Amino acid sequence: MNDRKTNHEKAERFFEGLWERGDPWELESSDFERVKYEHEIAILNQNRYEHVLEMGCGAGSFTRHLVPVAGRILALDISPAAIARARETHAGLDSVDFRVQNVMDYNPRNDMPWDLIVVNETIYYLGWLYTFFEVSWFAAELFASTRAGGQLLIANTCGGVEDYLLTPSIIRTYHDLFDNVGYKRTDERVFNGTKSGAQLEVLISLFTKPADGGREA
């Protein structure tokens, strides 16, 4: 319990410190991010989702792209500054509930079933702060709270910069984790682009929970 409290405080300090200074990853202004989002929406293949959960939404830059394909969206982030910015910037998005929440402390079963769960550029931070068992349990709980036939969208940058969190083999291991908890990989694409002079690769995976409910880990 003490370790989880320490990790929560560490994560909150880290992300709050970044978001208090503005848009730390240039999510709103970067052409790279805009095109990446277009690739993520395209992989959804024009599906419509009534009940959407976005884990680690930041200031809502991708949330806005989800609105046309969603009925209701619950968008979570640990940073109060990020959520305040999201609420201010996207005040007209009545279908979105932006909420301050550590995704590792949120029980997705409370509001299940979810038609689509989105985990964008988030899971490697969870792997940095939490044990592999805790991240695996997180994946299993997402699977359990997904509607049969529902989907999970996960995107992560792989390499391209001097950041051990983005090690390609580790990123792919995180994606494999969702196969292991019961999802079936429906589609997977790689987006390559340049941001701030760095050549980056983004792994975009779409998973589906089997129509028969599959199995829980």
pLDDT tens, residue by residue, 105-157: 999 999 989 999 999 999 988 988 899 999 999 999 999 999 999 999 999 99
CA distance 98 to 82: 10
Asked whether the CA dihedral 30, 58, 3, 53 is positive or negative, the reply is negative
Burial class (CB in 10 A: 0-12, 13-18, 19+), 157: buried
CA angle 36/45/26 to nearest 5° reads 15
Please report which confidence band the pLDDT of residue 216 belongs to, taking 50, 70 and 90 as the band edges.
very low
CA distance 202 to 217: 27
107: left (phi over 0), alpha (psi -120 to 50) or beta: beta
Q: How many helices (H) and strands (E) does the chain have?
A: 7, 7
pLDDT of residue 198: 81
Instruction: Look at the domain 2-208 and name its fold.
Output: Rossmann fold (3.40.50)
Give the number of other CB atoms < 10 A from CB of residue 170: 15
* 28, 59 Cβ separation under 8 angstroms: yes
- For 5, the token pair is 């409290």
Evaluate if residue 167 carries a pLDDT over 90.
no
pLDDT of residue 166: 78
The full DSSP string for 13-46 is HHHHHHHTTS-TT-TTT-HHHHHHHHHHHHHTTT
* 152, 206 Cβ separation under 8 angstroms: yes
Pairing of strands 70-77, 184-195: unpaired
pLDDT tens, residue by residue, 8-60: 676 667 677 666 777 776 777 788 889 999 999 999 999 999 999 999 999 99
Q: What is the mean pLDDT of the chain?
A: 89
pLDDT of residue 29: 74
Could you tell me which residue, 160 or 127, shows the higher pLDDT? 127
**Rounded average pLDDT over 59-80:** 95
**Rounded average pLDDT over 185-201:** 90
Evaluate if residue 69 carries a pLDDT over 70.
yes
Beta strands in the chain (DSSP E): 49-55, 70-77, 96-100, 114-120, 146-158, 184-195, 198-208
Domain ranges of the chain: 2-208
